[in-house]
Amino acid sequence: MSIIYIVVPLALLIATTAVIGFAWASRQGQFDDLETPAHRALFDDDPVEEE
């Protein structure tokens, strides 16, 4: 069972990364508006004009 001594710290490391990722996204303001992006994702891109 000594694998536990590696796996548990690894799990905690992954959790830390996730929390850091969340903190970054939150500082960027990604959670300030939770409604509009859901709609924005559905808009088509502007058609590329052909030369």
Partner 1 sequence: MVAVPLLPVVMKCDHCTLPVPAGLVVEGSAQQFCCAGCKLVYETLAGAGLGKYYDIVEEDAGDARQATVVSGRNYPEFDHQEFTDEHVTVAGDLASAKFYLRGVHCAACVWLVEKLPRLLKGVVSVRLDLGRAIVELEWRPQQVELSAIASLLDSIGYPPLPLKDGEEQQRLRKEQRADLLRIAIAGALAGNLMGIAFALYGAYWSGMEDGLRDFFRYTAFGLATISVAWPGRVFFRGALKALRARTPNMDLPIALGLSAGYLGGAFNTITQRGEVYFESVGILVFLLLVGRYIQRKQQRSAYLELELLHALSPGSALRVVDGVSEEVPISALQIGDVIEVLGGDTVAADGELLSAQATVDAAVLTGESTPSAIMAAELVYAGTRNLGENIQIRVSQIGDSTRVGQLMKRVAEYARRPSAIVRMADKMSGVFTLVVMLLALITVWWWTQYTSFDVALEHAIALLVIACPCALGLATPLAVVAAVGRAARKGILVKGGDTFESLSRAGVILLDKTGTITQGDWNVSQWYGAQELRPLVEALENHSNHPFARALANQKSQLSVAAVEIESGCGIRGVVDGVQIYVGSPAWLAQLGADFDDELLSTISNNNLSPAIAWDGAQRVSVIALGDTLRADSAQRITRLHELGWQVHILSGDDPRVVQRVACEVGVASENAHGGVTPEAKEQFVRDKQKSQHKVVMVGDGWNDATALAAADIGVAVHGSAEASLAAADVFLSRPGLGGVVELLSGSLRTVRLIRRNLLVSLLYNGSGVALAMLGIMNPLWAAVFMPLSSLTVVSLAWRSKTFN
CB of 25 closer than 8 Å to CB of 31 = yes
Structure tokens at 50: 């052909």
Give yes or no for residue 7 binding partner 1 (CB under 8 A): no
Give yes or no for residue 5 binding partner 1 (CB under 8 A): yes
Binders of partner 1 in range 23-42 (CB under 8 A): 23, 26-27, 29, 31-36, 39-40, 42
Q: How many angstroms separate the CA atoms of 11 and 6, rounded?
A: 9
Q: Give CA angle at 36 (45, 43), nearest 5°.
A: 15
- Residues at the site binding partner 1, with contacts judged by CB under 8 A: 1, 4-5, 8, 11-12, 15-16, 18-19, 22-23, 26-27, 29, 31-36, 39-40, 42-43, 46
